[in-house]
Amino acid sequence: MRRINNTTKNIKESIDLLETMSNIVNVRHFESRSIPIKTLNLLFEAFSLGPSLANQQPWEIIEIEQEEVRKIVKATLDPFLTVGTTGGQSWLSSSPHVYLIINDLRRAEARIGQVGQVFSTQDTFAALQNLRIYAQIEGVGTSVVREFDTDLLKKELKIPDAYSPVAILAMGYSIDEPEIPPRFTFHEILHKGGVED
């Protein structure tokens, strides 16, 4: 097993990676220019390296053509998932790259049964975080949308029953400087031995 040498260089790289992670936010205003295909391929390679329970790798990625984005928007809800707020994420129409991340339920359930759907969703979001970290390093802004009407989305995009939508992914070069929301420090969320009410 290769040993990690904790040199000053490695420590600096670790700090840089934490800073990269801290700057990942949902971007909603993109430049019109496209992401180079070489960069896109690297981002999806990072996604494909995500963890997967029982190596099910249930994920699939659908690239949404620009003229089809309106169908995605139609199925989105506002950030609070309010019933009846379809079309709540209209900003997606200005994103140069839009993808739908779905899970193949057959692969999700193949080895561990129906509970595999839950773990597959968790694994897919971990894979998405891989992509978002690499995107941030490459200067690419991302946004992950989970607020949508699943049935309407499947109907609009004619997605077969064997697949379940997990997230909408928008990517491009951000127009705005990111606003970093406040976060709990790890001291506030780390507990020894248990938690109290």
Q: Which domains does the chain have, with CATH numbers?
A: 26-174 (3.40.109.10)
Asked if residue 107 lies in contact with residue 56, where contact means CB atoms within 8 angstroms, the answer is yes
Asked if residue 175 lies in contact with residue 111, where contact means CB atoms within 8 angstroms, the answer is no
Work out the pLDDT band at 1, boundaries 50, 70, 90: very low
Determine the Cα–Cα distance for residues 8 and 81; give it in Å rounded to an integer: 46
Asked if residue 40 lies in contact with residue 184, where contact means CB atoms within 8 angstroms, the answer is no
Does residue 86 register a pLDDT over 90? yes
DSSP code, position 113: G
Does residue 3 register a pLDDT over 60? no
- What pLDDT is attached to residue 84? 87
Strands (E), the chain: 59-64, 97-104, 141-145, 163-172
> What mean pLDDT comes out for the span 79-95?
93
Structure-token pair, residue 147: 């607020």
Report the percent of the chain where pLDDT is more than 90.
85
Determine the Cα–Cα distance for residues 74 and 87; give it in Å rounded to an integer: 4
Asked if residue 57 lies in contact with residue 63, where contact means CB atoms within 8 angstroms, the answer is no
Does residue 139 register a pLDDT over 80? yes
- Per-position b or e across 122-160, b if 16+ CB within 10 A of its CB: ebbbebbbbbbbbbbeeebbbbbbebbbeeebbebbebe
DSSP code, position 35: P
> What mean pLDDT comes out for the span 135-151?
97
Q: Which amino acid is at 82?
A: T
